[in-house]
Amino acid sequence: MTATRPPALSATSLAVAATRDDCLALDARDPLASLRERFDLPDGVIYLDGNSLGARPRAALARAQEVVAREWGRDLIKSWNTAGWFEMPKRLGDRLAPLIGARPGEVAVTDTTSLNLFKALAAALAMQAERSPGRKTIVTERGNFPTDIYMADGLARWLDRGYRVRLVEDLDKLEAAVDADCAVLMLTHVNYRTGRQHDMAALTRHAHANGALAVWDLAHSAGAVPLDLHAAGADFAVGCTYKYLNGGPGAPAFIWVPQHHQAAFRHPLTGWWSHAAPFAMSHGFEAADGIGRALCGTQPVVSLALVECGLEVFEATGMEAIRAKSLQLTDLFIALVEARCAAHPLGLVTPREHERRGSHVSFTHPHGYAVMQALIERGVIGDYREPAIMRFGFTPLYTRFVDVWDAVEVLRDILDNETYDKNATRSAVT
């Protein structure tokens, strides 16, 4: 699809879309509009949570049927070879690679983001232990997604060689924390809570200039913002497929190991799938060449197969067109909320500068949880993150401009009429 760039909407989006009809007109001109047809979205729902669980590609239902009924049901164990089950982590990795600026043979779709991060960090620490053994800290931001910090901390304690995680509260002090002790700078490119985007190339350059390796988590970036891991010079990266990549609930994550680091990539989860010859059943472990060494054990085939349906959709467009629409949607949402809900105590958490923003927008409200529950009851699905933050994700593949308008109108109505329950009880997943 050749995407003509949509007309630019600046922070003064209201001038362009001051009415619902203006939003309909933007949809009519949207080069990505037809891709919405590729998703099954329930009627009466405005889904603004694709940053947490992407919507279902229509193709996923038939694919699930095929994997379960034919490949598993009829062909049974033969499918490891005949249906390509065994090669799937690498085949899907190659299909995902263009979205993140990776090359063929550098990405595997496997395991969870948490586990892949563990492997990448373990490998990075092992590389540093040979080059500069005095470096003992993994530097990250305190506001990083907790699992990233938990995994880094768990690894550091387990190794028991003086490694520790250094949490940086103030982002202005991040660069200074990459000092002579720093082995690895581990960052999430777009923050899950604030939607703030780091400058990957600049921070990676800074890490390298100061002797550290740079490991990036792309959970809220892959499929949301254009990425070029090679141009940025990143060392390792991991990310989710169930968020913007629409792979399905709990779908396997991905790990990127660039070719120039593959020979040195060693991690402790040396299961048989990371062996050079798994079916040789040999006594000693010998790591596979290439990205195969990033695997561990048997893959969840049914879930893995559905990841492909999400990736296919991206091949009908490009990340530049997706980014252009994403910025239009988030600009419009910010402008409309600030104009139409101005009487209410909403605070924008997400940066206004385009280059510092991902594809979701967060606002605080003193009753953020209750307001979000009221929105969900009215069919506007976002989510809530502590403290007091309402998150709204914008997925250009299926979110329309008119959805932005309608979502803001529901929000305004709830706030104007105070139709939210201040004592709403929390579900396990918020």
Ligand X SMILES: *Cc1c(COP(=O)(O)O)cnc(C)c1O
Binding mask 322-361 for ligand X (x = CB under 6 A): ----------------------------------------
CB of 252 to ligand X, least distance (A): 9
Considering beta carbons, is residue 148 or 331 the nearer one to ligand X?
A: 148
Q: Is 364 in the site for ligand X (CB under 6 A)?
A: no
Q: Site for ligand X (CB under 6 A): which residue of 192, 273, 369, 384?
A: 192
CA distance 188 to 168: 13
Q: Site for ligand X (CB under 6 A): which residue of 32, 219, 309, 408?
A: 219
Considering beta carbons, is residue 196 or 400 the nearer one to ligand X?
A: 196
Sites for ligand X among residues 101-140 (CB under 6 A): 112-114
Q: Is 145 in the site for ligand X (CB under 6 A)?
A: yes
CB of 428 to ligand X, least distance (A): 15
Closest to 325 in 3D by CA, of 45, 14, 33: 33
CB of 245 to ligand X, least distance (A): 12
Considering beta carbons, is residue 25 or 269 the nearer one to ligand X?
A: 269
Q: Is 220 in the site for ligand X (CB under 6 A)?
A: yes
Considering beta carbons, is residue 342 or 429 the nearer one to ligand X?
A: 429
Q: Is 154 in the site for ligand X (CB under 6 A)?
A: no
CA distance 100 to 103: 9
**Residues belonging to the active site:** 145, 217, 242-243, 391
Q: Is 303 in the site for ligand X (CB under 6 A)?
A: no
Among 24-32, 84-92, 213-221, 292-300, which window interacts with ligand X (CB under 6 A)?
A: 213-221
Considering beta carbons, is residue 140 or 262 the nearer one to ligand X?
A: 140
Q: Is 270 in the site for ligand X (CB under 6 A)?
A: no
Q: Is 148 in the site for ligand X (CB under 6 A)?
A: yes
Sites for ligand X among residues 6-25 (CB under 6 A): none
Among 57-65, 94-102, 167-175, 214-222, which window interacts with ligand X (CB under 6 A)?
A: 214-222
Q: Is 147 in the site for ligand X (CB under 6 A)?
A: yes
Considering beta carbons, is residue 9 or 155 the nearer one to ligand X?
A: 155
CB of 240 to ligand X, least distance (A): 5
Q: Site for ligand X (CB under 6 A): which residue of 30, 217, 331, 383?
A: 217
Q: How many residues bind ligand X (CB under 6 A)?
A: 13
CB distance 217 to 377 below 8 Å = no
Q: Is 197 in the site for ligand X (CB under 6 A)?
A: no
The 3-state secondary structure of the chain, one letter per residue:
CCCCCCCCCCCCHHHHCCCHHHHHHHHHHCCCHHHHHHEECCCCCEECCCCCCCCEECHHHHHHHHHHHHHHHHCHHHHHHHCCCCCHHHHHHHHHHHHHCCCCCCEEECCCHHHHHHHHHHHHHHHHHHHCCCCCEEEEECCCCHHHHHHHHHHHHHHCCCCEEEEECCHHHHHHHCCCCEEEEEEECECCCCCEECCHHHHHHHHHHCCCEEEEECCCCCCCCCCCHHHHCCCEEEECCCCCCCCCCCCCCEEECCHHHHCCCCCCCCCHHHECCHHHCCCCCCECCHHHHHCCCCCCHHHHHHHHHHHHHHCCCCHHHHHHHHHHHHHHHHHHHHHHCCCCCCEECCCCCHHHECCEEEEECCCHHHHHHHHHHCCEECEEECCCEEEEECCCCCCCHHHHHHHHHHHHHHHHHCCCCCCCCCCCCC
The β-bridge relationship of strands 213-217 and 236-239 is: parallel
Q: Is 253 in the site for ligand X (CB under 6 A)?
A: yes
CB of 404 to ligand X, least distance (A): 23
For binding to ligand X (CB under 6 A), which residues are involved?
A: 112-114, 145, 147-148, 188, 192, 217, 219-220, 240, 253
